[in-house]
Amino acid sequence: MRYRYASRITRLPPYLFAEIDRKRREAERRGIDVIDLGIGDPDLPTPSHIVAALCEAAKDPSNHRYPSYEGMQAFREAVAEWYLSRKHVRLDPDSEVLTLIGSKEGIAHSAIAFLNPGDSALVPDPAYPVYRNATIMADSVPVTMPLKADNEFKPDLDAIDSDIARVAKLMFLNYPNNPTAATADIDFFKSVVDFAYEHDVIVLHDNPYSELTFDGYEAPSFLAVKGAKDVGIEFNSLSKTYNMTGWRIGFAVGNSEILNGVKGVKTNIDSGAFQAVQVAGIAALRGSQECISANLAVYRARRDVMVEGLRSAGLSVNKPRATFYLWVPIPDGFSSSIEFSMFLLERAGVVTTPGIGFGEYGEGFIRISLCMDVNRLEEACERINALL
């Protein structure tokens, strides 16, 4: 029997993180003591009060049945309260909040909801791969918005060709940014709203790192801009804020009609988030937020150690104000980010992510994750320093 994949599958690049994981396993089989600074998966445990809430909810038989498609009313109310408290954005939990099985799922479903075959979407580059890949899975065309250092890794909206802007259906954005750790302010989001109004583009802002900020910086919500609710929605997740990546719980908020489109896809593809996990999500959103401050203290210390160590090794690296990533230019003498990344893995046992994996404009950089104990980060710096 011959198995033929759909053309959309053959257009997808190998999933970056899966390929890195394969390379890591190969190195470990060769006996290398690997320090994995590749994937951004918090190593800190989920706060105990959230775990306790899940355990209790999992015992309740009423949570063993199918959940509602849009999510529990109590969870959506908790999201609205959280947004008002932390982002100063008022939301109607009945129409402007949608529960997701992690924000990645909602982002991918948004492309299916709004893109017809042959349509185009404005996709940042470098970027989290799901924006481009979801567009491809919708049989549509990703149009690159370059993120360059000379524009602080934000898209130059004025440089987007008017003919392309006129026909584009969606614009994906993500600030604080993965992989560059760049941040955005309200003025930038105002320009995005103006662009969306002018060109009739739906804005999908991915904001999972909204609470991972340092040095007095507070990441604004895209929805805090006047008129933003008319043109877009924002995705967020409990994954990074509360160390819940494996729990798969997130939400989309904003324009009710856009959310209905996403919901229309979800009701035909999945059956909603496990209700006991939503109960735990309520505990996270309504409980003490001291766990966020504790996380930030850990990541800040790790950031400072790593930045100092890399600079001592001769690498040029900025100290980011958000996320748990460092976006590091590769040094002279290396022709590509893959070459430098493989050099660090083979010669120092340190896994990093080559920037080209996030798009062509990621070439010349590697991404380093801070999801590792500070002692191992110090050791990674020592190995890199000795190598370079």
Q: What share of the chain is helix, strand, coil (3-state, %, to 5)?
A: 50, 15, 40
Q: Tell me, yes or no, whether 158 and 216 share the same domain.
A: yes
Q: Tell me, yes or no, whether 211 and 263 share the same domain.
A: yes
First to last CA, the chain: 52
Is residue 23, in this structure, part of any structural domain at all? yes
Is residue 165, in this structure, part of any structural domain at all? yes
Q: What is the pLDDT of residues 225-245, one digit of tens each?
A: 999 999 999 999 999 999 999
Q: Tell me, yes or no, whether 35 and 69 share the same domain.
A: no
- The residues facing 351 across adjacent strands are 36
Is residue 2, in this structure, part of any structural domain at all? no
- Residue by residue, DSSP assigns 7-34 as HHHHTSPPPHHHHHHHHHHHHHHTT---
Amino acid at 249: I
Q: Tell me, yes or no, whether 326 and 251 share the same domain.
A: no
Q: Tell me, yes or no, whether 68 and 30 share the same domain.
A: no
Q: Tell me, yes or no, whether 101 and 192 share the same domain.
A: yes
Domain count, the chain: 2
Q: Tell me, yes or no, whether 281 and 339 share the same domain.
A: no
Residues of the chain with pLDDT under 70: 1, 15-17
Q: Tell me, yes or no, whether 14 and 54 share the same domain.
A: no
Is residue 1, in this structure, part of any structural domain at all? no
CATH number (domain holding residue 383): 3.90.1150.10
Q: Tell me, yes or no, whether 243 and 342 share the same domain.
A: no
Q: Tell me, yes or no, whether 295 and 274 share the same domain.
A: no
CATH number (domain holding residue 108): 3.40.640.10
Q: What is the pLDDT of residues 16-49, one digit of tens each?
A: 667 777 888 988 898 889 999 998 999 999 999 9
DSSP state of 234: E
Q: Range of 325's domain?
A: 7-45+290-387
> Beta strand pairing status for 141-146 and 120-125?
parallel
Q: Which of 247, 270, 286 is the last residue of a domain?
A: 286
Q: What is the pLDDT of residues 58-88, one digit of tens each?
A: 999 999 999 999 999 999 999 999 999 999 9
Q: Which of 286, 306, 329 is the last residue of a domain?
A: 286
Phi and psi at 204, nearest 5°, equal -115, 105
User: Which pTM does this prediction carry?
Assistant: 0.96
User: Do residues 262 and 109 touch, judged by C-beta distance below 8 A?
Assistant: yes
Q: Which of 286, 321, 351 is the last residue of a domain?
A: 286
As given in the structure block, the two tokens for residue 304 are 């400072």
